[in-house]
Structure 1
């Protein structure tokens, strides 16, 4: 989706910071635009609100992991470029979703994460993150605190592999959430459009990350 390319670390940081600030403003405007989408979307439904809250939190972790790998010296240009793309794209999406929530005076975070998901199946075993001694993560595909800590402490080549493995799992979980929102009869067309775009973008990135892992003689984490 984005043609954003990596540059010098300070330049990348400045660009992403300014872009994020602009996108927060644009996100609030997006809430106003919501009301102009037609009679089927005058307000946010339960699934719209839950998806916006939970996916924003899910994106926050992807942005954190991408910034972490991007800040490490010696990371290869393809991995750094992928990380920058994730930061740029998911910052934009998060700003949009939080703009909707702000416009409709909804909390930024839910009291009960993932409660909007049908049948109460919020994070199946195939997408659980974390280690065996940790509690299940609140959302599918999310990494544990320990995994993120390891990401920042490993040598560049090992950190690249862990980043790709964690982000593939993270994207699969995000796609599961986006698919659930898209299939939910309560979801308005505005949210469905964004969810469908996420499915396409993250699916493409999983393909790219799988290729990068193969080049490094590594495999995705077991599901």
Structure 2
């Protein structure tokens, strides 16, 4: 029995490694020829979404070490996927010698958000992140899921705008992938939150 459990654990580990590698290469930077010229919306999307992703990575890394393996797995997948996407988004900007960030978030994408103490939709405030860092166990898991679900909903909104109004094929394709991927993760995290008797935070 112990040998069988060990075999199953090894198989699961292999699938996790293969899946992670697949996720990374799916988001590798696109060359300039395929990206094409960037519109104002494309530039804003690349600048704003990379910053938005940075906070998702921060939230995932702020999750306390005593969180359960299911939630830690969610956090680790977010770090891997969104770090790769940050490299892709900023790779486009570097290809065209454009600034990696802007002092007017969401301006190029046609609107601004100021809710939750942050300029982009779904972003967590400094006090929310600090509170997460001080929590433990199930309490930390619930807040992490609440913050990340809201954060993903904001990301989906931003990506949907880029898909609808962007022009470069690589940008609109990536935006659609983000809508699908983060939408799926919202469903998974909502189920985990419900299992812990938690409720999603209001959005926006």
In the other structure, the counterpart of 2:146 is: 165
TM-score by length of 1: 0.77
- The structure 1 segments of at least 4 consecutive aligned residues displaced by more than 2 Å after TM superposition are none
C-alpha displacement of 1:111: 3.0
C-alpha displacement of 1:43: 1.6
Q: After the TM superposition, which residues 105-144 of structure 1 pair with which residues of structure 2 at under 5 Å, given as runs? A: 105-118=97-110, 120=111, 122-123=112-113, 128-129=115-116, 136-144=117-125
CA deviations 1:49-91 (Å, max 9, x no partner) are 110000000000000000111xx23211110000000000001
Kindly indicate whether the alpha-carbon contact (under 8 Å) linking 2:163 and 2:171 is maintained by their aligned counterparts in 1.
Answer: yes
CA RMSD, aligned part only?
A: 2.4
In the other structure, the counterpart of 1:94 is: 86
Kindly indicate whether the alpha-carbon contact (under 8 Å) linking 2:32 and 2:95 is maintained by their aligned counterparts in 1.
Answer: no
In the other structure, the counterpart of 1:204 is: 184
Higher helix share: 2
Q: After the TM superposition, which residues 43-192 of structure 1 pair with which residues of structure 2 at under 5 Å, given as runs? A: 43-69=37-63, 72-118=64-110, 120=111, 122-123=112-113, 128-129=115-116, 136-184=117-165, 186-192=166-172
CA deviations 1:108-161 (Å, max 9, x no partner) are 10131111223x3x338xxx32xxxxxx41100000000000111012211110
TM-score by length of 2: 0.84
Alpha-carbon distance in 2 for matches of 1:52, 1:150:
29
Alpha-carbon distance in 2 for matches of 1:109, 1:53:
5
